[in-house]
Amino acid sequence: MKSNNGKVYIVGAGPGDPELISVKGLNVLKRADCVLYDFLSAPELLEHAKESAEKICVGKADGLHLKEQDETNSLLYEKSLIHKTVVRLKGGDPFIFSRGSEEAKYLREKKVDHEVIPGITSAIAGPESFGIPLTIKNKIQSVAIVTGRKKDKNAEIDAPDAGTLVYLMAVANIKNVVKALKKSGRKENIPCAFIEKATRKDTRIVRGTIGTIEEKVKKEKVKPPAVLVVGEAVGCEEK
């Protein structure tokens, strides 16, 4: 790939605990001349960047705003023309319900040298941080990561046939998530849990069942970011 001046690294920041970034991700962050970060990447990570590094917040309250994404893409391109190392720091893994793949495609089309550095997704780290195993040998043989929110607010939410389901962006749309789970034939007494602010110091877990979780969200005032894990995995954790 023809290079402009610089190289862009699309880096997964990990789920929240700043120590959960990869060694490779941290190393490029330390030598970055410019960092474009979002709200979900741990703020402490920016302390690793050089003092002289340009630090730009490109966070979005609603990841479905296309115009804002265009602006981020353009910024990545512009910064690659003037800096040697540009880091695009994204919460969790940059390709899991994130726009990392679109950014990589844009950079490829613009012939900008780039590399993707994977991160630990909240979909896995959230349940695991409370000891919930997403798979169990000979018992839970599959796991699906599902969006709890679609661009078309009236669109049905998916509830694929998997042993464990992990929903991202499900808090505000919990009603429709539960509707989809029931429609899929799942029983109301199947356990589930919301993990809020996974791997941060103030993380918490709110447990329920398919039948009770909607009420629990209201009662316990669950707030994003939170992942919802559904299935017999909840309850199988090491006590």
d(CA 141, CA 17): 28
User: Per CB under 6 A, does 217 bind ligand SAM?
Assistant: no
What residue has token string 């909840």?
A: 234
Minimal distance, residue 116 CB to ligand SAM, in Å: 12
CA distances from 183 to 109, 112, 180 (A): 42, 45, 5
Say whether 38 is catalytic.
yes
Query: Is residue 112 within the footprint of ligand SAM (CB under 6 A)?
Result: no
User: CB of 135: closest distance to ligand SAM in angstroms?
Assistant: 18
Nearer to ligand SAM, 6 or 73 (CB): 73
Rule CB under 6 A: choose which of 227, 230, 233, 234 binds ligand SAM: 227
Task: Say whether 70 is catalytic.
Answer: no
Q: Between 55 and 200, name the residue whose CB sits nearer to ligand SAM.
A: 200
Q: Least separation, in Å, of the C-beta of 165 and ligand SAM?
A: 13
Q: At what angle do helices 100-109 and 66-82 cross, to 10 degrees?
A: 50
- How many residues interact with ligand SAM (rule CB under 6 A)? 24
If binding is defined by CB under 6 A, does position 177 make contact with ligand SAM? no
Q: Is 45 in the site for ligand SAM (CB under 6 A)?
A: no
Let me know if 202 is a catalytic residue.
no
122 scored as a contact of ligand SAM (CB under 6 A): yes
Q: Please choose, out of 20-28, 93-101, 130-138, 231-239, the segment that lies near ligand SAM by the rule CB under 6 A.
A: 93-101
Verify binding: residue 59, ligand SAM, rule CB under 6 A.
no
Is residue 58 at the binding interface for ligand SAM, with CB under 6 A as the rule? no
Please give the residue ranges that form the binding site for ligand SAM (CB under 6 A).
15-16, 40, 63, 91-93, 96-98, 121-123, 126, 168-169, 195, 197-199, 224-227
Q: Which residues are catalytic?
A: 38, 60, 169
